[in-house]
Amino acid sequence: MRYYSVSVSPLGKIVRGSASCSDLISCLYALNSTEIDIFFSLYGMEEITLETLSAAAKRDKSTIHRILEKLVNAGLCFKDTMAMEQGGFRNIYYTLSPEKLVEKLTYDGKRIIDGLNSAMKQFPENFAMRTGLSTGTKSA
């Protein structure tokens, strides 16, 4: 008999109660494993620039730039743009403190729970409108 390894999604791990901090962040902010690895690697760096992170991660600058912008847009890190003496500019990226990260995850998690509860209340009516079929329950 052959056994196959079944990959469980971060959301599946959350539902099962076996999620790691990586799974939680991945699920809340739609990050893939590479983006999660880059996110956690930021915490070991003193000055985070596109160049230093690209070299440390051994990834293209364009890939790192996309990941950093995604992290900034998610509110998981932030950036300052600094003018350079020779002209041009350089972005410096900063992480949230571990305490602020926990606050953010808690806040965003509560917002997701509220949104999920609202969507579940509206589901029977929305399902009926979409399919013309009743779910046999009434929305609150």
pLDDT of 4 reads: 56
Run of H or E residues at 126: helix 98-131
Res. 134 pLDDT band, cuts 50 70 90 = confident
What is the band of 80 on the pLDDT scale with cuts at 50, 70, 90? very high
pLDDT (tens digit, 9 = 90+) per residue, 27-40? 999 999 999 999 99
Full-prediction pTM beyond 0.75? yes
For residue 1, what pLDDT band results from cuts at 50, 70 and 90?
Answer: low
Q: Is 119 helix (H, G, I), strand (E, B) or coil?
A: helix
Residue 26: CB partners within 8 Å, gap ≥ 6?
A: 10, 32, 33, 35, 36
- Whether 6 has a pLDDT exceeding 70, the answer reads no
Report d(CA 49, CA 41) in Å as an integer: 13
